[in-house]
Amino acid sequence: MPEITTLFWDVGGVMLSNGWDTPERAAAIRKFGLDAADFEARHEVENPAWECGSITLAAYLNRTVFYKPRAFTPEEFREFIFAQSRDLPEGHAIADEIARSGRYSMAVVNNESTELNLYRIQKFGLRRSFPAFFSSCFVGVRKPDRGIYRIALDVTQRTPGECLFIDDRAANLETARQMGMHTIQFQGGEQLRRDLAAQGVVWQPSV
C-alpha cells in the first residue's frame, strides 16, 4: 500500500465557511428583498459558468440580480457576498499544522468563482499552507467531475494511491475514491484528527 505523500483539501465547509451556498444566498434574498424562486433559478443557470471562470462576478450579477433596476448597487451586493465568508478554525488549524510540519505536499481542490476564490485566499491566509490551488475557476472543471482530480494528479505528478482528499461532501469524495485516492469526509476537528491518524498521516513529533 503506497504511503500517503499528498493531501488535497476542499475549502468551503472544511477550512472556511461556504462562500456562496444556499444559506448565504438565502441571507442575500432576505436582505435585498429578492424573489427567491427567480434568483435561485437564475443562479442555477449561471453558477456553473461562474465557478468555471467562464464569466465574471459582474456578469453573474447582471444575469441574476441586476437584469432590472434595483434600489441597491452591484457594489453593495458584491460586498455582501464577500462578507459571508468566515474562518472554520478546527479544520483550518489542522491544515496549517500539517503544512508547517513539512511532511506532506499540500494543495487545494475546490469549486469557487475567481473573484471570491482570490478574496478568500488572501483574506484567510491560505497561501501560507497551500502552494497550489486547483480551483474550478482556474482549471475550468468542477467537482465531482473526474477532470479536476485528474488535473491535480497530473500537475503534482502523484499517483492516486499516495493522495488523500478531504472534503465535507460525500459526492466529491466518491469520485476521488473511485479514482484510487484515500478520502476523509470532514465533520469536525477531532474527527479529522482521528481519521488522519487512521490513514497513517502523522505530522506531530512523538513525545
Name residue 105's beta-bridge partners.
Answer: 6
| 137 located within any domain | yes
Q: Residue 178 maps to which CATH number?
A: 3.40.50.1000
Written as nine digits, the cell of 11 is 475549502
- The CATH code of the domain that includes 49 is 1.10.150.240
In a domain, 205, yes or no: no
Counting the structural domains of the chain, the total is 2
Cell of 110: 475546490
Confidence bin at 205 (pLDDT 50/70/90)? low
Judgement on whether residues 44 and 118 belong to the same structural domain of the protein: no
pLDDT in tens, 153-180: 999 999 999 999 999 999 999 999 999 9
106 lies in a domain? yes
One domain for residues 141 and 53: no
Which among 85, 71, 79 is positioned nearest to 33, based on CA atoms?
A: 71
Q: Which domain holds residue 47?
A: 22-83
Rounded to an integer, what distance in angstroms lies between the CA atom of residue 116 and that of residue 92?
18
At 94 the pLDDT is 97
The residue type found at 98 is I
Summary mean pLDDT of the chain: 97
User: Cα angle vertex 46, ends 41, 48, to 5°?
Assistant: 115
Ramachandran class of 12: left when φ > 0, alpha when ψ lies in -120 to 50, beta otherwise: beta
Q: What is the pLDDT of residues 48-92, one digit of tens each?
A: 999 999 999 999 999 999 999 999 999 999 999 999 999 999 999
Angstrom distance (rounded) from CA 72 to CA 178: 46
What pLDDT, on a 0 to 100 scale, did the predictor assign at position 1?
Answer: 60
Do 76 and 97 fall within a single domain? no
